[in-house]
Amino acid sequence: MKPKRPRKPARSKRPASKRPPRPPRDPLLGRMAGADHREVGGVSIDTTRVANGRVKRVCYPPGFRWSTHMKSLVNTPLCMHAHVGFLARGRVRGTYADGCAFDLAAPRAVVIEPGHDAWVVGKDTAVLIEFDTENSTAARFGLPDSHRHA
């Protein structure tokens, strides 16, 4: 009795030209080469050091809200980080402690002062390309240490 040959994997009978194309990988959502990657409260953050600051690519998933997903991790009533950068995708709304509100839709440059709650609107991931200097971002960019009216 002859030994059986191993079976070859089944191939599609459609020629390659008739197969549906694979969706391209989205470079905006892929990890940044050489960056530190972490996930906090459902948010994906890639950070790389440049000059005397950092560039971060922050992906906020649909349904994300700072007061729901981050407040208990950070132990502050509001987000006290200043955000300066470019909203490349998605929509973000938020409020400050005094009731002032913001509504940001990509593509646009953004400045969000410390002392805010914010959430993603809609079904798209909000992608923020952020420039910061860690704990001194607000001061370095000339922002107040919390939201206030001019």
14-34 tens-digit pLDDT: 555 566 666 567 888 888 888
The answer to whether the CB of 32 falls within 8 A of the CB of 57 is: yes
pTM: 0.79
Specify the amino acid at residue 39.
E
Q: What is the pLDDT along the chain (150 residues), one digit of tens a residue?
A: 666 776 666 665 655 556 666 656 788 888 888 899 999 999 999 999 999 899 999 999 999 999 999 999 999 999 999 999 999 999 999 999 999 999 999 999 999 999 999 999 999 999 999 999 888 888 888 888 888 875
What distance lies between CA 16 and its chain's CA centroid?
A: 36
Tokens of 58: 């922050």
Tokens of 111: 């400045």
